Amino acid sequence: MRAPSIVVLIVIALPLLLGEFWAYQLGLYALYAAAAVGIGLCWGQAGFLPLGQALFFGLAAYLSGFAFIGFQNHLIIAVLMLPFAALASGLLAYAIGYIVFRRTGESGAYFSMITLALSLLAFQIATSWNSVTGGFDGLKGIPGLPGLDDLSDNYYVSAAVLLVVLALAAWLYSAPIGVLWRALAQNERRLQLFGFDTNQLKSIAFGVSGLIAGMGGALYAPEQGIVTPQLAGFGLSADLVIWAAVGGRGSLLGPVIGTLLVGSLSSELRDTLPFWEVAMALFFIAIVLIFPRGIAGLAEPFLRKIEGRKRGRPFIAAPDAPTQRPPAALTLHDVSVRVGEVTILDGLSIDFDRAGIFCVIGPNGAGKTSMFNAISGELSGVSGQIGLGGSDIVGLVPNRISGLGVARKLQIPSVFPDLSIADNLAIALWSGRAAKVQLLKPRLRRWTSPMLEQLQSRYPFLASGPRKALELSHGEQQILELAMALLTEPRVLLLDEPCAGLSPEETDAVMGLVRWAAQRLGGAIIIIEHDMSLVKELAEVVYVLHNGTLLAKGGVAAIQADAKVRAVYVGGEK
Amino acid sequence: MSASRLDFEKLTGGYGGTTIVRGLSGAAKAGEVLCVLGRNGVGKSTLMRLLFGYLPCLSGRVLLDGKPIQAFDPSARHRLGITYCPQERPVFDDLPVRDNLTLMRASRRLGPFRHYFDRFPILERRLAQHAGTLSGGEKKILSFVRGLAEDRPVVLLDEPSEGVQWENILHMEAFIAEKKAAGTAFIVVEQNLAFAERIADRYLVMDQGRAMLEGSQSTISRDSILAHLHV
Amino acid sequence: MDPLIVTQAINVVYAVSILAVLALGLAVIFGLLGVLNIAHGEFIMIGAYCAYVTESRGWPYLVAVPLTLAVCSLLGAAVEWIMIRRLYRRPFDTLVATWGLSLLLRKIAEAFFGPGFRSVTIPLPGTIKFLGTEYPIYRLMLIVVSLAVVSVLVIWYGRSRTGSRIRAMVNNPELAQAQGISVRRLAAATFVVGTCLAGFAGVMVAPLVPVQPFMGLDYVLRSFFVLIVGGLGSVSGLLSGAVVIGGFDSVISAVTDAANGYFAVLVLAILFLWLRPRGIVARA
């Protein structure tokens, strides 16, 4: 663990190297950097962009200011209130996230606009609520931290807080929750289908980012002695985004580098160089469009050398899957779905047995994928009942249905491309097995299960841990996604054209895997397929869908002999 | 309208990382209909989208009168003389039937459509209605008429008869025959064998993205086609 | 009728009409193209500064209109080509890209005009007796112009060839391409129309507000709220959103103060997002 010690050494040495003035500057910007790390967490990890981050910084600053002014004769109490100021920001952020993400679902744009509006509103309130906040001129005369004298003392306190923030972020990024955040940014729908409540994950990310911004803000008040509305307003919010982006939003230290380098330089150069601000804006645009890894991206090869090679640590056995519960029968009863004028499913009724391999076929537009979407809870306006093991699942959200033991492999291979193969598989293992609190423990990343070991011996590429999933060929990605679905040990497995676009060897491999899975899991495997040779090989029962309803069911031979089926496939004269 | 022919040689392509169509070759000569048959999922629509430029070709060529066009985008291929009627979403739901017919024409007059309205009076009755209110078969008829009225030398139709009643299918056959006589080349994807048999000069039967059977109407038997169509 | 009530009523009508025109550009770009142009407010700012420049050069006020249209169309075309082209129907990605643009435009305005407020004199000063009360002429004229602009645009969009082709492109871009519509060019032209509408709105409001580099923020947020409350992609959505937001804001601001008005609008927008996410006029 060499990198953190180097960072700490640098932090301690800086004031000695740069002198008092710069120590003061950097101390101030270290507090801003804490807020910028929050942006890195939301944007760089979880993929959504808060445009009003200063709200949490400023709120904590005001609260802390009130505490220090109110308890100026017993400053030690004010110091004890500091964490609560930060906590207030964190809770507010979580609440906002909860309210907004619940409804806007996957549209991060709406979230960004609302956080922007909230920051402007906070500025308005801080400016007009004169009696409490001191209005536009701000809250003045805030006493400093007890026991500190010169400027560099403040620096050490700020630096310590920043280091705590970085330690917290580093822990979260390497914990399962960090992996889930990054997965969310890459493929939110897929993560929901693994049973994870993505809205809550985003709210937690936002809450943590509010908390660490609040930590910076809370310290600002006693260190600077004055809190103005600008600390909660748009200007600072915008600057934080720029610093986080330019420094490198995806890395841990990127936002810090951006704030300390660009932020503190800007405050010096802004007055001397006339077009400095314009140049910064252009630089920001270039970073966002062309080089999102920012300054930290340039330093990456150098940083990697400092970090050294990670030693492989031994694997840990995962707990048993909760689906040591009995297989469940999936039944659809009179299921209908209309979208506008179009009827997608029309009184569809099917009883799948609790175990076996079943194939669903039918012409285009027959409703096959729509049926899967209805089962996994991704269609709205579903009438009728869909029963899993006796209970109706219509109206449940997708991640709850996954939690009940329904796994799905999507038509187009859908994994987490920028995550390693090991992380992809780990997510599947955590699904349904990891309690929420466990997601904070980095050791969960080393989980393995007997099924995973068996899969890895069948397909060695699944064991090439650090490789990114996007480096795999199309066929390998199909198998990876299938493996991930199997690892959740589902009661019902929905496969949507698992062999699409595969070579004959790859197709054989997948078919073998499906048969093995049927034996191993003992549940139902329902496959949508067009390729009749596969259907003949695998299917115990075949269901033919047409115009959103069930046309025929039976063994392969029976289906082939059925005149109605023949008419649908060959067409006829009316 | 001058006559043209469309050829494709060893076309391979698909979506994203998948290859769906492999090594397909064929041609539609002026005044001829090439029917592409096969169960769904075998790649018929993918072939059409490769021919019209919605998908890039991984390998192979598309030639219009001998000139390669596989680098051109759909609107360019339209300008060069190819009409395309897609299988899914064949009309503009938000526009009235009238606008669907005349959107890209020089004038908004409906005179040239008289001929089509006589056989398909339903279109004339619903000129002012939004096309989204039409039934599936009616939309297909609207798309068919729009396409043929473009008077282009090459016409690509993807399942024109889907949802259409038999009497109207026979009208479609008549219009196609008229156009053939005038020199138009057709490539028609069809699921309905009876219709295909009435219009085709040549067949291309696909399975698993490849050509299984290929040849003129006279050389391919109905039974061999059925074997590939049925489950 | 009590003249005070008449004045308030006209104020509400004014607030709604001006909001409709301010939001129109974003309604076109976000509603039709799926692009969240957060620099929408900055295009309004450009219009306002064009009005300022026009006045400071002693030109007649109306010259500001062609000046704005020239600047906004060139800038809009450049932005579309550099940033937006590959990002249609991706609200988040376009938001991030245009956020940088809005920053750049604000900084350029600050560099050229300084960070302070500028004011533009009202071209039609004075009041006129209207419905029993004295009301500023310029505001009345703006109401008329706003309604005219929205009506003309609606009629043009619904009846003209190009309007139909834009509707076709929005509804079914693949089929539009199939029939020979160059979707790329039409989308770019639509984007430029959106930025020009924003600039034009800026020229309209310039005499009534302080012209400064940050003026656009408030407008882009309000326009966004109008669209989420009213619904994307239709004129009735734009108008109903303007009525709700504009009406609510002016009533609450009149009764309490501007900060409360803003707060109320924000709460309303979040409520709509919570209860009716597709807006009042939800389209399929």
Q: Please check the confidence at residue A572 and state whether its pLDDT lies above 70.
A: no
Q: Which residue of B has its CA nearest to C183?
A: B75
Pick the CATH number of B6-92+136-229 from 3.40.1160.10, 3.90.950.10, 3.40.50.300, 3.20.20.140: 3.40.50.300
Let me know if residue A247 belongs to a domain. Answer: no
Nearest-CB residue to C175 (from B73, B89, B99): B89
Give the pLDDT of residue B1.
64
Instruction: Say yes or no: A432 and A548 in one domain.
Output: yes
Which residue type occupies A123?
F
Q: Which pLDDT tens digit goes with each residue over A66-111?
A: 999 999 888 888 899 999 999 999 999 999 999 889 876 657 898 9
Nearest CA to A283 among A273, A274, A292, A296? A292
pLDDT at A13: 81
Q: Is C66 on the interface with A (CB under 8 A)?
A: no
List the CATH number of the domain containing C227: 1.10.3470
pLDDT, average across residues B128-148: 94
pLDDT tens-digit series, residues C91-132: 999 999 999 999 999 999 998 998 899 999 999 899 988 888
Q: Do C224 and A100 touch (CB under 8 A)?
A: no
Instruction: Tell me how close the Cα of C147 comes to any Cα of chain A, in angstroms.
Output: 28
Please indicate whether, in this complex, the C-beta atoms of C174 and B78 are within 8 angstroms of each other.
no
**Residues in A touching B231 (Cβ below 8 Å):** 361, 532, 535, 556, 559-560, 565, 569
Evaluate if residue A344 carries a pLDDT over 70.
Answer: yes
Q: Are C190 and C32 in contact (CB under 8 A)?
A: yes
pLDDT at residue C274, as a whole number: 75
Determine the structural domain holding residue A468 and report its residue range.
330-570
Residue-range domain boundaries for chain B? 6-92+136-229
Closest residue to B230, CB basis, from A341, A560, A573: A560
A69 assigned to some structural domain: yes
Decide if A456 contacts A464 (C-beta within 8 A).
no
Residue A276's pLDDT is 85
Is position C80 within any domain? yes
How much is the pTM?
Answer: 0.92
Quote the Cα angle for A271-A275-A281, to 5°.
Answer: 110
What chain B residue is nearest to A533 in terms of C-alpha separation? Answer: B231
ipTM above 0.90, yes or no: yes
Whether C95 sits inside 8 A of A112 (CB atoms) is: yes
Bigger pLDDT: A363 vs A248:
A248
Contacting residues of C for B152, CB less than 8 Å apart = none
C245/C235 Cα distance (integer angstroms): 15
Residues 205-244 of C with CB under 8 A from A: 214, 217-218, 221, 224-225, 228
Chain C residue at shortest CA distance from B54: C174
Residue B82 β-bridge partners: B154
Q: Give the minimum alpha-carbon distance from A527 to chain C in angstroms, rounded to a whole number.
A: 30
The number of C-beta contacts closer than 8 angstroms across A and C is 98
**Is residue C259's pLDDT more than 80?**
no
Q: What is the mean pLDDT of chain A?
A: 89
Neighbours of chain A (3+ CB pairs under 8 A): B, C
pLDDT per residue over B123-135, tens digit each? Answer: 999 999 999 999 9
In this structure, what CATH number is given to the domain that contains residue A528? 3.40.50.300
Other Cβ atoms less than 10 A from the Cβ of A179: the count is: 25
Nearest to A501 among B18, B39, B195 (CB): B18
Query: Which residues of A fall within a CB distance of 8 Å from C35?
Result: none
Instruction: Tell me how far apart the alpha carbons of residues C268 and A359 are, in angstroms, rounded to a whole number.
Output: 49
Are A532 and B165 inside 8 Å of each other by CB?
no
Nearest CB among B15, B166, B226 relative to A574 is that of: B166
How many whole angstroms separate alpha carbon C25 and alpha carbon A97?
A: 29
Q: CA-CA distance, A41 to A208, in Å (whole number)?
A: 8
For chain B, the average pLDDT equals 92
Q: Strand B6-13 vs strand B59-64: parallel, antiparallel, or unpaired?
A: antiparallel
| Residue A574 pLDDT | 41
List the domain range (segments joined by +) for residue C32: 3-275
Contact between A247 and A44 (Cβ < 8 Å): no
> Considering the domain boundaries, does residue C185 fall inside one?
yes
| Residue-wise pLDDT tens digits, C34-78 | 999 999 999 999 999 999 999 999 999 999 999 999 999 999 999
What is the C-alpha R_g of chain C?
Answer: 19
Percent of chain A surpassing pLDDT 70: 94
Average pLDDT, stretch A310-327?
Answer: 64
**pLDDT band per the 50, 70, 90 thresholds, residue C275:** confident
Single-letter residue type at C281: V
Last residue of a domain, one of A232, A253, A281: A232
Question: Minimal Cα–Cα distance from C18 to chain A, Å?
Answer: 20
Q: Does C181 touch chain B (CB under 8 A)?
A: yes
Nearest chain C residue to A128 by CA distance is C259
- What does the pLDDT look like over C223-255, one tens digit per residue? 999 998 998 888 889 999 999 999 988 888 888
Judge: A278–C111 Cβ closer than 8 Å, yes or no: yes
CB contact under 8 A, B104 and C164: no
* A262-310 per-position pLDDT tens digit: 888 888 887 777 788 888 899 999 999 899 899 988 877 776 665 555 5
Write down the pLDDT at residue A313: 65
Q: Which of A211, A232, A253 is a domain's end point?
A: A232
Among the partner residues A104, A118, A274, nearest to C273 by beta-carbon distance: A104
Nearest CA in chain C to B86: C175
pLDDT, residue A474, reads: 85
Q: Could you tell me what percent of chain A has a pLDDT over 90?
A: 60
Residue A397 to residue A385: CA distance in whole angstroms: 15
| Per-chain mean pLDDT for chain C | 91
Distance between C159 CA and the closest CA of chain B, angstroms: 10
Minimal-distance CA residue of chain B relative to C172: B92
* Residue in B84, B85, B92 closest to C171 by CB: B92
Residue in A285, A288, A339, A380 to test binding to C, most C beta-carbons within 10 Å:
A285
The whole-angstrom distance between C97's CA and the closest CA on chain A is 7
Distance from CA of B7 to the nearest CA of C (A): 19
The confidence score (pLDDT) of residue A341 equals: 74
Predicted confidence at residue A5, as pLDDT, reads: 79
DSSP string spanning A199-268? HHHHHHHHHHHHHHHHHHHHHHHHHHS-B-GGGGSHHHHHHHHHHHHHH-TTSSSHHHHIIIIIIHHHHH
Cα-based distances in Å from B19 to A325, B15, B56, B59, B62: 40, 7, 11, 11, 17
How does A537-549 read in b/e, with b if 16+ C-beta sit within 10 Å? ebbebbbbbbbbb
User: Which of C167, C171, C179 faces B104 most closely, judged by CB atoms?
Assistant: C179
When divided into structural domains, chain C yields a total of 1
* Mean pLDDT comparison of A291-300, C85-94, C190-199, highest-scoring range: C190-199
Q: Does residue A312 carry a pLDDT above 80?
A: no
Domain-ending residue, one of A232, A267, A288 = A232
Amino acid type, A551: L
- Does the residue C284 lie in any domain? no
| Mean pLDDT, residues A345-370 taken together | 91
Distance of CA B184 to the CA centre of its chain: 12
Please tell me the least confidently modeled range out of A16-25, A56-65, A337-346: A16-25
Residue-level pLDDT at A105? 63
pLDDT of residue C266: 86
Does residue A573 have a pLDDT over 80? no
Chains in contact with C, where contact requires at least 3 CB pairs less than 8 Å apart: A, B
Task: Verify whether the Cβ–Cβ distance C178 to B78 is below 8 Å.
Answer: yes
| pLDDT for res A164 | 95
User: Which residues of chain A neighbour C36 with C-beta distances below 8 Å?
Assistant: 109, 113
Q: Do B93 and C181 touch (CB under 8 A)?
A: no
In a domain, C91, yes or no: yes
CB–CB contact B166 A500 (8 Å): no
| Per-residue pLDDT, C283 | 63
Residue A1: the pLDDT is: 47
- Give the dihedral sign, CA C243/C244/C249/C250: positive
* Mean pLDDT confidence for C155-169: 92
pLDDT score at C19: 95
Q: What is the mean pLDDT of residues C193-217?
A: 96
Q: Give A539's contacts in chain B (Cβ within 8 Å).
A: none
User: For residue A420, what are the β-bridge partners?
Assistant: A468
Q: Answer yes or no: do C221 and A113 touch at CB < 8 A.
A: yes
Subunit contact C178:B104, Cβ cutoff 8 A: no
State yes or no: pLDDT of B200 exceeds 60.
yes
Tell me what the mean pLDDT of segment A131-138 comes to. 86
Judged against a pLDDT cut of 60, whether residue A259 lies above it is answered with yes
Q: Which of C259, C263, C277 sits opposite A103 (nearest CB)?
A: C277
Find the mean pLDDT for residues A400-412.
Answer: 91
C183 at B interface, C-beta within 8 A:
yes
Q: How far is A233 from chain C (nearest CA, A)?
A: 12
Contact A285 C110 (CB under 8 A): no
> Is there a contact between C164 and B86 if contact means CB atoms under 8 Å apart?
no
In a domain, C205, yes or no: yes
Query: How far apart (Å, rounded) are the C-alpha atoms in residues C280 and C284?
Result: 13
Position C284 pLDDT exceeds 50: no
pLDDT > 90 fraction of chain B, expressed in percent and rounded: 79
